[in-house]
Amino acid sequence: MPAGSGSTSRSHAAQRREPDAAFVLDVRSLGRRPGTMKELRRTAVTADRLGLEMIAVPEGAEVELDLRLQAVSEGVLVTGTVTAPTAGECSRCLEPFTDSQELYLTELFAYPDSATEQTTEDDEVYRLVDDTVDLEPVIIDQLGLELPLQPLCTPECAGLCPECGVRMAIAGSDHGHEILDPRWAGLAKFAPESSGSAGPDAGAAEPDHQ
């Protein structure tokens, strides 16, 4: 779903959009005879950022559609895959990274006068509008389910050093900090003097006072 949007997008499927533009598919050639089908491959370009706050399909990204459209008694069944590039920020080290996401779709778009359309709420099923199928709401909903809430640049990302904030990936295996027990913090200033043992005259014999 778009960043900042927390509501379902199924109700937006009933909005009128131009056919054959981006994610809007014209299905008039299918007719309404159950079993009629066609395959479709298309590259669509996103007009908006689609996804979650920390990871999403960027605006202007090319999304590959590999779909089968099939007429059924209650509408048009859309199945297939949607492959899209993603860009995000690692939740551990906060570095930007890119990846890709493949979505598997199986969605029914109900005919306007079908029993499914008449017996379901707006947010329960997608709908055909003027013999078109708008896939964008489907993709938005699927991304909301598939994308991780806490994305990682790599599964092994070690994050940031809790003491100095440097990325552990570039800090080196010997990176570390001496942790001083706060109960002994007041004695730390004496450590250099005491660590050097005694001065040059220390240990000299006391003068013999007889």
Of the ranges 29-38, 82-91, 148-157, 191-200, the best mean pLDDT one: 82-91
Specify the amino acid at residue 53: E
| Average confidence (pLDDT) over 100-109 | 96
User: What percent of the chain lies above the pLDDT cut of 70?
Assistant: 67
- 126 has pLDDT over 60: yes
Distance between CA atoms of residues 56 and 3, nearest Å: 8
* pLDDT the model gives residue 19: 57
Are 143 and 57 a contacting pair, CB within 8 Å? Answer: yes
Mapped onto helix, strand or coil, the DSSP state of residue 190 is helix
Q: What's the CA gap between 46 and 61, in Å, rounded?
A: 5
Number of Cβ within a 10 Å radius of residue 27:
22
Least reliable range by pLDDT among 23-37, 115-129, 144-158: 115-129
| Confidence band for 11, pLDDT divided at 50, 70 and 90 | very low
Task: Give how far Cα 121 sits from Cα of 35, 156, 169, Å.
Answer: 26, 44, 50
Picking from 140, 134, 141, 104, the residue whose alpha carbon sits closest to that of residue 25 is: 134
Do residues 8 and 126 lie in contact, with contact meaning Cβ atoms separated by under 8 Å? no
Question: Residue 169's pLDDT is what?
Answer: 61
Q: What is the model's pLDDT at position 4?
A: 41
Distances (CA, A) of 206 to 50, 106, 196, 197: 84, 96, 21, 18
What pLDDT, on the 0 to 100 scale, is given for residue 8? 43
3-state SS, residue 78: strand
Q: What is the pTM of this model?
A: 0.70
d(CA 106, CA 163): 48
8 Å CB contact between 151 and 41: no
The residue ranking higher by pLDDT, 163 or 64, is 64
* Model confidence pLDDT, tens digit, residues 130-177: 999 999 999 999 999 999 999 999 898 877 776 676 666 666 666 666
What is the chain's percent helix, strand, coil content, to nearest 5? 20, 30, 50
Give the pairing of strands 62-72 and 126-127.
unpaired
Q: Are 46 and 140 in contact (CB under 8 A)?
A: no
Statement: residue 117 has pLDDT above 60 = yes
Average pLDDT over all residues of the chain? 80
Whether 123 contacts 55, CB under 8 Å: no
